[in-house]
Copies of this chain bind each other. A is one copy, B any other.
Amino acid sequence: MISSLVFNEAGLLPAIAQDAESGQILMVAWMNAEAFEETVATKKATYFSRSRQRLWRKGEESGHVQHVKDVRLDCDGDVILLSVEQVGGIACHTGRAHCFYKKLTDDGQWLDAEPVIKSPDQIYQR
């Protein structure tokens, strides 16, 4: 299973989380072998945080856990696709439903095209 995965020179590969119901792409993060194995074993999305250099159990602080319904691998084995149920309806650390909220306009600007559902201060109780 793990032997089919092609990790990059840092031992990571990108993983896409897609909402199982709506098909919305929620976020992209990275996995090392351990994160992948934990994701499969627990059926909760687990990534490797490049900034913190440790396993990141999605929702560990926010509560916004992703329950994994399906795991896919692409043709060349270097990208994972998770179909997930997003607890709380918020995947992004900015408090939006998903991370892809910057939309390119016809005049070449990035427009914030999705509302903040819950402020990060509330999510992370800082």
Contacts and interface: CB of A to CB of B under 8 A. Distances in A.
Across chains A and B, which 4 residue pairs bring their CB atoms closest together, nearest first? A23-B23, A71-B104, A72-B100, A73-B102
Number of copies: 2
Interface string A29-48: 00000000000100000000
A25 B14 contact: no
Interface residues of A, number: 36
Given A73-B102, A74-B102, 14 more contacts: A1-B110, A4-B102, A4-B110, A14-B28, A16-B16, A16-B25, A28-B79, A73-B104, A73-B110, A74-B100, A75-B94, A75-B99, A76-B99, A81-B100
Interface of A: 1, 4, 14, 16, 18, 22-25, 27-28, 40, 70-77, 79, 81, 92-94, 96, 99-104, 108-110, 113
